[in-house]
Structure 1
Amino acid sequence: MFNLFKKKRNEVASPMTGQVILITEVEDAVFSSKAMGDGFAVKPSERNVYSPIKGKVTSIFPTKYAIGLVDEKGLDVLVHIGIDTVELAGNGFEITVQEGANVDFDTQVATVDLAYLKSKNKPTTTMVIWTNGAKATLAIKPGQYTAKTIIGEVK
């Protein structure tokens, strides 16, 4: 009965298997300075990308390197696959969802050819950014994770 009065937590999952790092450790100043918003990143070891939140797909960039989501509290989330990957014009990426789709931690949203990105000298680090995050506090625990594993929460 008392559980009805607890504040709902918005859990965050690692979208990929790999090393979860703080956004301030990303090797690109646009992300590490939090110019786009607060978040975290994954240095992936596997190619499948899953939704880091429960919510809805709001946009898919034409060049397939980024997916916009909105979580259950209305916070905008950007999953940005790789660094400077817009230059690849969609090559190396396959999107597996459509705009408007409901997503949760088990929803695969994309596949990325990590070897292709590396062959083009593009870092594979994948960022998860709360683009209107001034409304939220993000608490994550860096470390090695399997995709879909809860790593923290948004308050």
Structure 2
Amino acid sequence: MGLFTKNKSLDVFAPVDGEIIDLSKVEDEVFSEKMLGDGLAFIPENGEFVAPIDGKLVTVFPSGHAYGIVNSNGVEILLHIGLDTVSLNGEGFDIKVKQGQSIKKGDLLVNVDVKSVAAKVPSMHTPLIFTVDSMSGKSFDILKTGKVKKGDLVAQVK
């Protein structure tokens, strides 16, 4: 491990086609008040969600609604698809990965039937959170706002 390995920046890419919104606009206090960490959120245009970073899947909820990914530099990202989607018990979510699996940016995580899911939950807002514990001594910049396509560079952790 080199002297500067821990200081290497981490590029974060859009996990879905859609629009970036400020985390404060997410209609769930856990996310809008940054209880799990800071980040950004997406309003998805479709249901194809891909990995926003390279890393290891430390969490894949059986319901398919949330994914925890840790990068080799220790940064952990939580991608939470929609609000109150855990209540659907996986209905509308076709999971393509397994917990413990190594993934690369752009790898397909899940296909979501957005139309069906959106009709049953309060919102499809999709927070991407940099978890509090993993961000100690680090900061991030949002590099893009508004409309994005999956794979667009949207943030950088330093």
Give how far 1:122 is off: 3.3
1:153 aligned to 2:148?
A: no
After superposition, the C-alpha distances for 1:28-73 in whole angstroms (9 at most, x for unaligned) are: 2110100111111110001100111111111211221111110121
Give how far 1:91 is off: 0.5
Give how far 1:151 is off: 1.0
CA contact (8 A) 1:38 1:138 kept: no
CA contact (8 A) 1:12 1:152 kept: yes
Distance 1:106 1:60 in 2: 16
- Aligned residue for 2:32? 32
Distance 2:134 2:145 in 1: 19
CA contact (8 A) 1:12 1:150 kept: yes
1:51 aligned to 2:51?
A: yes
Gaps of 5+ in 2: none
1:86 aligned to 2:89?
A: no
| TM-score normalised by length of structure 2 | 0.88
1:18 aligned to 2:21?
A: no
- Aligned residue for 2:145? 142
- Does the residue aligned with 1:56 lie in a helix, a strand or coil? strand
Count of matched residue pairs: 151
After TM superposition, the structure 1 = structure 2 runs for residues 107-146 of structure 1, keeping only pairs within 5 Å, are: 107-131=107-131, 132-135=133-136, 136-140=138-142, 141-146=144-149
- Does the residue aligned with 1:57 lie in a helix, a strand or coil? strand
Gaps of 5+ in 1: none
Give how far 1:100 is off: 2.1
Distance 1:104 1:23 in 2: 25
After TM superposition, the structure 1 = structure 2 runs for residues 53-72 of structure 1, keeping only pairs within 5 Å, are: 53-72=53-72
Distance 2:130 2:37 in 1: 5
Q: What letter matches 2:147 in structure 1?
A: Q
Distance 1:100 1:107 in 2: 14
Identity %: 35
Give how far 1:134 is off: 3.7
- Does the residue aligned with 1:90 lie in a helix, a strand or coil? coil
Give how far 1:133 is off: 4.5
CA contact (8 A) 2:13 2:150 kept: yes
Distance 1:30 1:121 in 2: 16
| TM-score normalised by length of structure 1 | 0.90
